[in-house]
């Protein structure tokens, strides 16, 4: 098939034509093919970060926001919402909504708590190395089954998603209470707890460099592969300087992140206990042990990469967008929209289950109220990240950036000492404002 695509004379081959002709900022954006929307979100995020830092520095005398410690914590706090936001993007793109994710999270968390504390130790013995795996898989599977059930009611029962998941919101929260009669299950399995982050639940300096270098290699590899594909099919190429710029920017961000997480040391008390356990003598200046990337952050990254591949490179993802863009056209093109709906809600439920793993591991306990109001933050993240409630539009990276914006606002307000009431006012207002700005942007770009 590819042989007949290489017979274009070199002088008229689009791959050899100038890619862009405009100059200035427009020309720069055309050449790099950077999404202006993405840049806007990154800009907003930078503004929030710098704003909180300066406010802290000027008013409280200490800028606590742009510190390795805070940013590391921010990354961990974003994980749970971010994981679910990846699924919510699919749900909203296909013009549905899922109000039940917070309750599914609570139900899965408490179920996993019972499984790993009451059920599995009786079978396998306390502290068995398989406990965390079985518990986590059960939680994810449980979430996926609940999600499929919701999807089935929506697709085949023709009940609006709003109603099914509103019912789910109440049902699963109540069920979470019933599972353990309202008790808090704590502590969870010690290996399981590592999935929530913390000093032991991080991969350390060396591990972080390895992850960082793999990421850099992937960025360079993708750029090279993209260029080769374009040449093969005679599509216009990006100018070489733009490729270099993208490569350096991407690798720079990755290396910056690695340096950041490695700059956050373990707390002194934990270092002392660790040193005692390992028989190391702590020098006078203290021992500097880096956190490195937290495991929940790596889970979020893995989910984001997998979901991005699913959405941009597979038929499944293509059909999700098609159903959102024009459900009738999708149906006429032979797409089984109903089955797709079941699958989409199943993915959403599975991700809520995974989120339950992260959230309960982080707290080292499972309570029936875990994840309360999460559905609103998840929906807000997806929407702030550019997912259109009218359907058909949305990206995974946008949703994660949206989750980061939401979490940054909350963390920032805590750091500068705003009370809970003001936090709610601000978060709510930002949601509305973000959607309004998005509508303005889309109106202009049409």
| 331 binds other proteins per the rule CB under 8 A | yes
Q: Output the smallest distance, CB 237 to other proteins, in A.
A: 13
Q: How far is the CB of 16 from other proteins (least distance, A)?
A: 16
Percentages helix, strand, coil for the chain, rounded to the nearest 5?
Answer: 75, 0, 25
Q: Assess contact for 184 and 367: CB atoms under 8 A.
A: yes
What are the E-state strand segments in 126-267? none
Among 17, 22, 190, 229, binds other proteins (CB under 8 A): 229
Nearest CA-CA partner of 50 in 68, 71, 66: 66
In 3D space, the residue among 69, 86, 93, 108 whose CA is nearest the CA of residue 367 turns out to be 108
- The whole-angstrom separation of Cα 427 and Cα 66 is 20
Q: Which of 82, 386, 392, 412 binds other proteins (CB under 8 A)?
A: 392
* Phi–psi pair at 202, nearest 5 degrees: -130, 165
- Number of shown-chain residues binding other proteins (CB under 8 A): 30
Q: Which one, 1 or 240, has the nearer CB to other proteins?
A: 1
Asked whether position 329 contacts other proteins by CB under 8 A, the answer is yes
Whole-number Å distance between alpha carbons of 343 and 346: 5
Q: Which CB sits closer to other proteins, 272 or 318?
A: 318
Asked if 1 touches other proteins (CB under 8 A), the answer is yes
Measured from the CB atom, the residue of 10 and 332 that comes closer to other proteins is 332
Phi/psi for 418 (5° steps) reads -75, 145
Return d(Cα 159, Cα 66) in angstroms, integer: 47
Query: Cα separation of 420 and 397, whole Å?
Result: 29
> Exposure of 64 by Cβ count < 10 A (0-12 exposed, 13-18 middle, 19+ buried)?
middle
Region 303-322 residues binding other proteins, contact defined as CB under 8 A:
309, 313-315, 317-318, 321-322
Task: Write the DSSP symbol of residue 56.
Answer: I
CA-to-CA distance for 174 and 182, rounded, in angstroms? Answer: 9
Sign (positive or negative) of CA dihedral 339, 345, 347, 350:
negative
- The yes or no reply on residue 230 touching other proteins (CB under 8 A) is yes
Residue 291 near residue 72, CB atoms below 8 Å? yes
Binding residue (CB under 8 A) for other proteins from 184, 326, 337, 423: 326
- CB nearer to other proteins: give 265 or 317: 317
Nearer to other proteins, 94 or 202 (CB): 94
Distance CA 247, CA 218 (A): 10
Question: Is the CB of 23 or the CB of 446 nearer to other proteins?
Answer: 446
Smallest separation, CB 311 to other proteins (Å): 11
Residue 234, interface with other proteins (CB under 8 A)? yes
Report, in Å, the least distance between residue 77 CB and other proteins: 32
Q: How far apart are CA 85 and CA 399, in angstroms?
A: 6
Burial of 200 by CB count in 10 Å (0-12 exposed, 13-18 middle, 19+ buried)?
middle
Question: What's the count of helices (H) and strands (E) in the chain, helices before strands?
Answer: 18, 0
Closer residue to other proteins in complex, CB, 37/230: 230
The residue from 11, 284, 328, 419 that contacts other proteins (CB under 8 A) is 328
Q: Point out which span in 70-78, 237-245, 257-265, 325-333 binds other proteins (CB under 8 A).
A: 325-333
Residue 382, interface with other proteins (CB under 8 A)?
no
Closer to other proteins by CB, 22 or 229: give it.
229
Among 195, 294, 393, 399, binds other proteins (CB under 8 A): 393
Closest CB to other proteins among 248 and 390? 390
334 is a site residue for other proteins (CB under 8 A) = yes
Q: CB-wise, 35 or 183, nearer to other proteins?
A: 35
Of 109, 115, 141, whose CA–CA distance to 368 is shortest? 109
* Binding of residue 442 to other proteins (CB under 8 A): no
Query: Could you tell me which stretch among 241-249, 287-295, 326-334, 427-435 binds other proteins (CB under 8 A)?
Result: 326-334
Positions that interact with other proteins (CB under 8 A): 1, 5, 229-230, 232-235, 309, 313-315, 317-318, 321-322, 324-326, 328-335, 392-393, 446
């Amino acid at each position: 098939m590819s042989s007949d695509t290489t017979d274009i004379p070199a002088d008229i081959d689009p791959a050899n034509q100038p890619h862009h002709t405009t100059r200035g900022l427009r020309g720069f954006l055309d050449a790099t093919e950077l999404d202006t929307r993405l840049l806007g979100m990154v800009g907003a995020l930078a503004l929030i970060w710098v704003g909180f830092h300066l406010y802290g520095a000027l008013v409280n005398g200490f800028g606590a926001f742009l510190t390795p410690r805070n940013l590391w914590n921010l990354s961990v706090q974003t994980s749970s919402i971010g994981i679910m936001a990846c699924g919510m993007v699919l749900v909203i793109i296909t013009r549905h909504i899922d109000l039940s994710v917070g309750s599914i999270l609570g139900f899965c968390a408490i179920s996993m708590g019972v499984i790993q504390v009451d059920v599995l130790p009786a079978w396998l013995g306390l502290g068995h190395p398989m406990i965390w795996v079985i518990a986590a898989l059960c939680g994810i599977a449980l979430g996926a089954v609940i999600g499929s059930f919701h999807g089935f009611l929506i697709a085949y029962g023709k009940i609006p998603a709003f109603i099914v998941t509103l019912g789910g919101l109440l049902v699963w929260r109540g069920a979470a209470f019933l599972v353990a009669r309202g008790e808090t299950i704590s502590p969870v399995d010690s290996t399981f707890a590592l999935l929530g982050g913390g000093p032991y639940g991080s991969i350390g300096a060396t591990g972080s460099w390895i992850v960082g270098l793999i990421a850099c290699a992937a960025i360079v590899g993708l750029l090279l592969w993209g260029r080769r594909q374009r040449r093969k099919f005679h599509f216009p190429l990006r100018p070489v300087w733009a490729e270099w710029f993208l490569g350096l920017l991407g690798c720079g961000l990755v290396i910056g992140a690695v340096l950041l997480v490695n700059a956050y040391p373990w707390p002194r008390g934990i270092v002392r206990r660790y040193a005692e356990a390992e028989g190391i003598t702590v020098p006078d200046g203290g021992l500097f042990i880096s956190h490195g990337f937290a495991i929940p952050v790596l889970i979020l990254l893995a989910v984001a990469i997998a979901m991005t591949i699913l959405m941009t490179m597979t038929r499944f993802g293509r059909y999700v967008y098609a159903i959102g863009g024009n459900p009738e056209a999708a149906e006429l093109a032979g797409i089984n929209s109903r089955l797709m709906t079941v699958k989409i809600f199943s993915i959403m439920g599975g991700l809520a289950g995974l989120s339950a793993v992260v959230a309960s591991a982080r707290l080292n306990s499972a309570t029936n109220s875990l994840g309360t109001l999460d559905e609103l933050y998840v929906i807000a993240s997806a929407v702030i990240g550019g997912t259109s409630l009218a359907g058909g539009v949305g990206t995974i990276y946008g949703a994660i950036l949206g989750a980061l914006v939401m979490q940054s606002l909350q963390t920032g307000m805590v750091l500068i000492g705003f009370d809970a009431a003001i936090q709610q006012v601000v978060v709510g207002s930002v949601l509305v404002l973000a959607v309004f700005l998005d509508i303005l942007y889309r109106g202009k770009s049409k």
